[in-house]
Structure 1
Amino acid sequence: MKKLAGKKVAILGSRKIEDISKLMENQGGIAVSRPAQGTALLKDEKLQDHVEMLTECSFDWIIFTTGIGVETIYQTALEMNRSDALISSLQKARIASRGYKTAHTLKKLNITPEVRDDDGSMAGLLRELSAHSLDGMKVALQLHGDPAPHLKQWLENNHAEYEEILPYIHIPPEKKVMNLLLSELLDGKLDSVFFTSTPQVRNLFSFARKNNAEDELKTCFSDRVVALSVGKVTAQALHEEGIARVIFPEVERIGSAVIELARFYAEEDIRTDV
């Protein structure tokens, strides 16, 4: 029998839904899409100005924090007929990168970061950046719709001048989707929830709090619903919301997370049979 046989899993991401669903179904699971992120791309003149600045080598350091941020900047450069100039500039720049997806996206553009985090987190990126002096330097800081207070404070403490680049922002997800997701959780209709980013965690628990259902939601995750995270950073966000049991892979990968969930249920079956 397949390890996820009959298990209904809600996918909270908004990208690669078909691919993730296929992975779940290959293990016998039933995948349902419940997007809880609300990402919106910014196609404005400010982003075009930032792309122009990047192509003109206007920065001493460039810090990328998300893969989709890199992709959006590159796509904007394509639309401006500036993609070759952008890549040429980035290949010459001193670049810091947070997260596997970010480094992977840069690699596809033949760009190798000088600095990478050691654990996928902003704190890990700061640990590695601390070996370098950014005193008096101009820094491009690509953010992802969420504030990065510790990173910005570190740059200020190190007397770096930084320019925030926001290729996209996180907006609230659709209320009807969140209503459906919360009701399914409280009614025991889901076996697991797959979180692929920290905004999904915050959005779900914020929505539950607004509907006076936070305690019930936490009880669901402690009793019957398995919280699945794509990696340790998103897992930490769940822990901070009071969720003790979180399944996640050592290396942040979608496929690895699905395998970890399958392994969890297989081991649970063994415990039940004993």
Structure 2
Amino acid sequence: MTRSAAQDTAAGTGAASDTQPVPPLAGFTVGITAARRAEEFATMLERRGAVVQHGPALRIVGLSDDERLETRTRELVAAPPDITVATTGIGYRGWIEAADGWGLGEELLAALGRSEMLARGPKARGAIRASGLVDTWSPESESTAEVLEYLLERGVEGRRIAVQLHGEPLPDVVEALELAGAEVVTVPVYRWAPPVDIGPLDRLIDTTLAGGIDVLSFTSAPAAAGILARAAERGLREDLLTALRGPVLALCVGPVTAAPLESLDVPTVQPQRSRLGAMVRTCESAAPARARRLPIAGHLLELRGHAVVVDGRLCPLPPTPMALLRVLARRPGRVVSRAELLAAQGGAGDEHAVENSIGRLRAALGVPGLVQTVVRRGYRLALEPGHDGHCADVPEDDR
């Protein structure tokens, strides 16, 4: 759903908003960069009132026909590992399915069953058990780093370890295990690649830079790297980083996903558990916390991404009135000239166009006296006296 479509929908149901509580994410637009489970994620966000824009930053390419995977599989069947590390459920299942296609499924499971199975997280654990095998350990943090620490602490010298990769090589993990005396066999069950249709990702980048995205979400480190790489190809990388360091909230599913962004000084928010549901709940609290709240003429205004909440009532605003409200809110209580407001709405037309837009803004807010006219000077938000020390401008004419 596009921003304008969501606004039209919300505007059509505005009467109900007087009696219904405002959904926690109403008025916010969330960008989704995920390739997998994007529809499920979007549905959870939309149920909480968010507008969603999807621009996948990557796609998963299965390697069932890849000679490397078949070769590694035959190597492990011939010489079973002592320890097997499954890092993702989808990757482990894809590996077993590919082996079935080569007529090696039972032999691979027999080989893995003779090894000690470690799962990086519950999804990998579930996939192991669904294949008829049993895992012996899984880290609380669901991180590869904790798996590595566990293995190094117990000692791996002389052990043959199979590590199922999760779309990217793990050179640090492999090197550390080999330095500790292990023989490591990596299993590349899938890899990340750019999306076939790059258009949605470009539109997501453009919308972010235009101020139309409030939260940009990431469910994998390759997605974070992918959107930055595409922005770099278009000469927009620094602009995107500036947005992510400022008005746009970077929401990540966990610390591994956040690492590429945080290494570039991009602040992130993450749930305590790396789950889509927990990620949505984090968004529910983090996005409204960034909204600006102002006491205006005896009412409370909360400015969200593309809407304003007045005394707990959601007021969706078209882009131009919303842009004017944001300009007025930069200096609440102080006069903003018509020329400045005209520039904020694109500079087209004359001061009469500003009057029309202010009229639309007042109508959408639905409460008289919030936006005041100062004759021959401009307009201002009627900030309550004393809120920021003083309000020097007194309106001469409140239309």
TM-score, length of structure 1 as denominator length: 0.88
Cα shift readout 1:85-118 (whole Å, capped 9, x = no counterpart) = 5444434321233244323332433544334334
Which of structures 1 and 2 has the bigger CA Rg?
Answer: 2
CA RMSD in angstroms, aligned pairs only: 2.4
Residue in structure 2 matching 1:132, options 154, 157, 163: 154
Aligned AA for 1:215?
A: E
Aligned AA for 2:251?
A: L
Aligned AA for 2:25?
A: L
Gapped runs of 5+ residues in structure 2? 1-21, 295-299, 303-399
State whether residues 232 and 250 of structure 1, in contact with CA within 8 Å, keep that contact through their aligned partners in structure 2. Answer: no
* 1:35 alignment counterpart: 56
Within 2, Cα distance between the matches of 1:226 and 1:96? 34
Residue in structure 2 matching 1:230, options 246, 250, 253: 253
State whether residues 37 and 203 of structure 1, in contact with CA within 8 Å, keep that contact through their aligned partners in structure 2. Answer: yes
Residue in structure 2 matching 1:48, options 56, 70, 77: 70
Aligned AA for 1:158?
A: A
Within 2, Cα distance between the matches of 1:229 and 1:254? 10
Q: 1:154 to 1:118 in 2, by over 3 A?
A: farther
How is 1:197-216 mapped onto 2 (pairs within 5 angstroms)? 197-216=220-239
Within 1, Cα distance between the matches of 2:176 and 2:140? 17
Aligned AA for 2:225?
A: R
Gapped runs of 5+ residues in structure 1? none
Aligned AA for 2:42?
A: S
Within 1, Cα distance between the matches of 2:51 and 2:35? 17
Q: 1:144 to 1:161 in 2, by over 3 A?
A: same
* 1:160 alignment counterpart: 182
Q: 1:147 to 1:84 in 2, by over 3 A?
A: closer
Higher RCO by CA contacts (8 Å cutoff, separation 6 or greater)? 1
Residue in structure 2 matching 1:18, options 14, 18, 39: 39
CA apart distance, 1:248: 1.5
Aligned AA for 2:256?
A: V
Residue 101 of structure 1: SS of its match in structure 2? helix
Residue 114 of structure 1: SS of its match in structure 2? strand
Query: Is 1:90–2:112 an aligned residue pair?
Result: yes
User: Which structure has greater helix proportion?
Assistant: 1
Moved more, 55-64 or 13-22: 55-64
Within 1, Cα distance between the matches of 2:263 and 2:132? 37
* 2:375 alignment counterpart: none
* 1:121 alignment counterpart: 143
Moved more, 132-141 or 169-178: 169-178
Identity over aligned pairs, percent? 26
Moved more, 80-89 or 96-105: 80-89
Moved more, 166-175 or 185-194: 166-175
Within 2, Cα distance between the matches of 1:104 and 1:197? 20
TM-score, length of structure 2 as denominator length: 0.62
CA apart distance, 1:167: 0.9
Residue 85 of structure 2: SS of its match in structure 1? strand
* 1:72 alignment counterpart: 94
Say how many residue pairs are matched: 273
Within 1, Cα distance between the matches of 2:181 and 2:246? 49
Aligned AA for 2:51?
A: I
CA apart distance, 1:72: 0.8
CA apart distance, 1:162: 1.9
Q: 1:214 to 1:46 in 2, by over 3 A?
A: closer
Cα shift readout 1:57-107 (whole Å, capped 9, x = no counterpart) = 621111222222102112213334544554444343212332443233324
Query: Is 1:243–2:266 an aligned residue pair?
Result: yes
State whether residues 80 and 114 of structure 2, in contact with CA within 8 Å, keep that contact through their aligned partners in structure 1. Answer: no
CA apart distance, 1:52: 4.2
